[in-house]
């Protein structure tokens, strides 16, 4: 058995107030870890900045590892846990920005930086799209990372699973009134890949959006293991056994019976 505990966090970030948001994130890490030991804490998309920052993303973006990573690294090391969180990141050329997510390990080291591939609407005005999917070997298993609208594309989760992911983590800013869509995608990505899905979605309001929350952990057979079913700040913890991934895949034969030569149309642009 490979049992681990995962916490998914719902927050309402203060728009363009990274210091306030980092304080709140630090407090949430402490609250969770003092309640019970966890192996991984997942925060929403753009947790340090908020969503509708427009041109201010240029000043809010960080070239990792920087201030946010350094602060949360201390918390990860203090409580010996992994922390995954969303933030705006940048290249050395400051005009190149990404909607990013960073994974910090239990020793306080930055283990990975993922850049959102599927940008939606006005996100394309602020960010450049990432170009690859990322799996990370941790002490408990192989983890994959997606952000927001990446969830809507089955190829993204499948790519992570084919690279070995046993757990797919999603940092999201999913808005109302798309609750049914959110749950459908979460369950589908878990079921069709026989993989655990841990999704942290934000709450609160900004100029144009109301975010729906409903953060959840879903099992490899599509079962909801833990969910925050109210649009409030808080967290949910699920204890999972990653060995169930192998069992589910042996039962379903979903990956073993793929026929890649028949899927050529999937990789055509149009």
- The 10s digit of each residue's pLDDT in 189-229 is 999 999 999 999 999 999 999 999 999 999 999 999 999 99
Rounded distance, CA 159 to CA 107, Å?
28
Rounded distance, CA 223 to CA 170, Å?
17
Rounded distance, CA 109 to CA 95, Å?
27
- The 10s digit of each residue's pLDDT in 34-52 is 999 999 999 999 999 999 9
Confidence bin at 269 (pLDDT 50/70/90): confident
pLDDT at res. 76: 98
CATH superfamily of 3-267: Carbon-nitrogen hydrolase (3.60.110.10)
Q: Average pLDDT for residues 50-74, to the nearest whole number? A: 95
Contact (Cβ atoms closer than 8 angstroms) between residue 200 and residue 170 = yes
């Amino acid at each position: 058995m490979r049992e681990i505990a995962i916490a998914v966090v719902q927050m309402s970030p203060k728009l363009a107030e990274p210091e306030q948001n980092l304080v709140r994130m630090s407090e949430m890490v402490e609250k969770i870890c003092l309640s019970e030991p966890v192996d991984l804490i997942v925060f929403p998309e753009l947790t340090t900045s908020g969503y509708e920052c427009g041109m201010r993303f240029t000043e809010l973006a960080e070239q990792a590892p920087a201030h946010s990573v350094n602060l949360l690294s201390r918390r990860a090391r203090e409580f010996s846990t992994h922390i995954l969180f969303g933030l705006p990141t940048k290249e050395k050329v400051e005009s190149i920005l990404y909607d990013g997510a960073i994974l910090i390990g239990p020793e306080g080291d930055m283990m990975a930086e993922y850049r959102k591939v599927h940008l939606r609407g006005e996100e394309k005005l602020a960010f450049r799209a990432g170009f690859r999917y990322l799996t990370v070997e941790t002490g408990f298993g192989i983890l994959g990372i997606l952000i927001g609208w990446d969830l809507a594309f089955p190829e993204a989760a499948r790519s992570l699973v084919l690279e070995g992911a046993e757990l797919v983590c999603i940092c999201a800013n999913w808005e109302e009134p798309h609750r049914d869509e959110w749950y459908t995608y979460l369950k589908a990505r878990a079921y069709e890949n026989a993989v655990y899905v841990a999704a942290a979605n934000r709450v609160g309001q900004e100029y144009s959006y109301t975010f729906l929350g409903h953060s959840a952990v879903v099992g490899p057979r599509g079962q909801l293991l833990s969910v925050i079913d109210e649009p409030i700040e808080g967290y949910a913890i699920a204890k999972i056994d990653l060995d169930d991934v192998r069992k589910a895949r042996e039962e379903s034969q979903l990956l073993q019976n793929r026929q890649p030569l028949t899927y050529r149309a999937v990789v055509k642009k149009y």
